[in-house]
Amino acid sequence: MKEEKKVSVPVIRRLPRYLRHLKEAAANGIRRISSKEIGRKLGATDSQVRQDLNNFGGFGQQGYGYDTETLSENIGHILCTDRNFTAILVGAGSLGTALAKHMGFERYGVTLLALFDNNPEVIGSKISRFTVRPVSEITDFCRKNNPDIAVLTLPGDAVDRSVEILESMRIKGFWNFTGRELNIPGVAIENVHLEDSLMMLTYAVGNPLAHKKETK
Amino acid sequence: MKEEKKVSVPVIRRLPRYLRHLKEAAANGIRRISSKEIGRKLGATDSQVRQDLNNFGGFGQQGYGYDTETLSENIGHILCTDRNFTAILVGAGSLGTALAKHMGFERYGVTLLALFDNNPEVIGSKISRFTVRPVSEITDFCRKNNPDIAVLTLPGDAVDRSVEILESMRIKGFWNFTGRELNIPGVAIENVHLEDSLMMLTYAVGNPLAHKKETK
């Protein structure tokens, strides 16, 4: 595999979509796939698909296409889903519960280690295979287990204090569902704004002609 | 306001982010804001910001900047958050519960009318101001209430049947959290793939040098 540097962020942002479609194809027993077929699924041209994948050395053969499984593995490698990162989740309300139960973190190479909450009614309760721990134990837990990632599913007004603690525990990345924009130099942040998605939907519902041409 | 047609999808996709930052600024008492300040928040140049907003006739004055409240209202109007759409939610598990409780649909001009589930243990339970109804009542409910939007938070394997029913009830848009890619001609679909976001995070954690330059 060639060097993975200098790939532009928009290309990287498209990789998870490639991966989703490749995995689906593989699950349906499709062993090889052309850039055209990948493109059709994603509303992109085959030349864009080829160009994107060429950033990583290609993995394809002219006239043959791509081996779905090999390409999936390679994209997964680029996206670091084979690194076995560990994570904790802070805020075991309904959203935290939903993620712990249904996200399937392992499929993306992330092992969820523990859930934390500060609500006495939630602490000690069982969610999936976890017993919710009190937030006060975060520091000790991090010292012992060195998690890479913190999933933040706590209310926006409780964020600052938790982030301060987690930062001092050298968390490398935050998956942030709190609605509060985080920006910590040198730390990876993925802010999730579901409202942006909801507004894209209201736009599309309100402009039925505009979205007919769009493919996602 | 000028014509709103022919605005490219990438521009539309940036509008919710502008709106978030403008609302935040307005909430902090900032009454006017320059394209430079908006750009700094979003990691864009001021000329890109101006160009984007010019698509809609501008709303700004040279040397003055933008009135945060007016611009918010105008962007909200473009995104159709002032249309008073109605919605139902199908799948009242932990994710559906999280959205019903915390999403604040009204802030985006969407009124949530009802929650549906097919689990006897969930039917009849109270979530936020809703009593969960059985999925079997969806058809009747839609006939009487004509909801615009369906939020899909049910498991992937139960999607097809529900979507079939909802399509026949002339739902105009689906907010789809099921992981199954939906594509229905003439219907607005917003597929939410949280795993894409998780993989952007694993990428950033695994490539600490790459994300230092990125701003979201």
pLDDT tens column, B76-110: 999 999 999 999 999 999 999 999 999 999 999 99
CATH of the domain at B74: 1.10.10.10
Q: Which of B85, B8, B88 is nearest to B48 (CA)?
A: B8
Write the CB contacts of A106 (distance below 8 Å, at least 6 apart in sequence). Answer: none
**pLDDT value for B82:** 96
**H or E stretch covering B76:** helix B68-78
Please indicate, yes or no, if residue A49 is contained in any of the structural domains.
Answer: yes
Residues A34 and A119 in one domain: no
Whether residue A198 lies within 8 A of chain B, CB to CB, comes out as yes
**pLDDT value for A106:** 96
Residues B162 and B183 in one domain: yes
B94: left (phi over 0), alpha (psi -120 to 50) or beta: alpha
Q: Which of B18, B142, B186 is nearest to A207 (CA)?
A: B186
Whether residue B86 lies within 8 A of chain A, CB to CB, comes out as no
Q: What is the band of B151 on the pLDDT scale with cuts at 50, 70, 90?
A: very high
Residues A103 and A180 in one domain: yes
Instruction: Please give the full DSSP string across A65-119, using - where no structure is assigned.
Output: EEEHHHHHHHHHHHTTTTS-EEEEEE--SHHHHHHHHHS-GGGGTEEEEEEEE--
How many folded domains does chain A comprise? 2
What ipTM did this prediction achieve? 0.92
User: Using the beta-carbon criterion (under 8 Å), do A204 and B103 form an inter-chain contact?
Assistant: no
Residues A41 and A93 in one domain: no
**pLDDT value for B2:** 42
Please indicate, yes or no, if residue B144 is contained in any of the structural domains.
Answer: yes
**pLDDT value for B109:** 96
Whether residue A79 lies within 8 A of chain B, CB to CB, comes out as yes
For chain B, what is the mean pLDDT? Answer: 89
Please indicate, yes or no, if residue B204 is contained in any of the structural domains.
Answer: no
B146: left (phi over 0), alpha (psi -120 to 50) or beta: left
Whether residue A13 lies within 8 A of chain B, CB to CB, comes out as yes
Residue ending a domain, choose from B78, B105, B139: B78
Please indicate, yes or no, if residue A56 is contained in any of the structural domains.
Answer: yes
Residues A107 and A132 in one domain: yes
Residue ending a domain, choose from B78, B101, B130: B78
Residue ending a domain, choose from B78, B95, B112: B78
Q: Which of A84, A143, A151 is nearest to A111 (CA)?
A: A84
Please indicate, yes or no, if residue B211 is contained in any of the structural domains.
Answer: no
Residues B191 and B171 in one domain: yes
Q: What is the pLDDT of residues A182-205, one digit of tens each?
A: 989 999 999 999 999 999 999 999
Is the predicted pLDDT of residue B46 greater than 90, yes or no? no
Residues B94 and B155 in one domain: yes
Please indicate, yes or no, if residue B213 is contained in any of the structural domains.
Answer: no
Please indicate, yes or no, if residue B150 is contained in any of the structural domains.
Answer: yes
Q: What is the pLDDT of residues A62-76, one digit of tens each?
A: 677 888 888 899 899
Residues A114 and A191 in one domain: yes
**What is the interface size between A and B, counted as CB pairs within 8 Å?**
198
Q: What is the pLDDT of residues A72-128, one digit of tens each?
A: 998 999 999 999 999 999 999 999 999 999 999 999 999 999 999 999 999 999 999
**pLDDT value for B150:** 98
Whether residue B62 lies within 8 A of chain A, CB to CB, comes out as no
**pLDDT value for B163:** 94
Residues B60 and B139 in one domain: no
Please indicate, yes or no, if residue B216 is contained in any of the structural domains.
Answer: no
Nearest Cα residue in chain B from A18:
B196
**pLDDT value for A215:** 43
Q: What is the pLDDT of residues B8-20, one digit of tens each?
A: 888 888 999 999 9
Residues B71 and B102 in one domain: no
Please state the rounded mean pLDDT for residues A143-167: 94
The residue range of the domain holding A17 is: 9-78
- Angle of helix A68-78 relative to helix A9-27, nearest 10 degrees, comes to 140
Q: Which residues of B touch A204 (CB under 8 A)?
A: 173, 188-190
> What SS3 state is found at B50?
helix
Whether residue B216 lies within 8 A of chain A, CB to CB, comes out as yes
Distance from CA of B184 to the nearest CA of A (A): 10
Q: What is the pLDDT of residues A20-61, one digit of tens each?
A: 999 889 989 999 998 898 898 888 888 998 888 877 655 666
**pLDDT value for B214:** 47
Q: Which of B210, B95, B105, B139 is nearest to A102 (CA)?
A: B95
Residues A115 and A163 in one domain: yes
Residues B89 and B185 in one domain: yes
Q: What is the pLDDT of residues B157-194, one digit of tens each?
A: 889 999 999 999 999 999 999 988 898 999 999 999 99
CATH of the domain at B174: 3.40.50.720
**pLDDT value for B194:** 96
**A145, A113 contact by CB (below 8 A):** yes
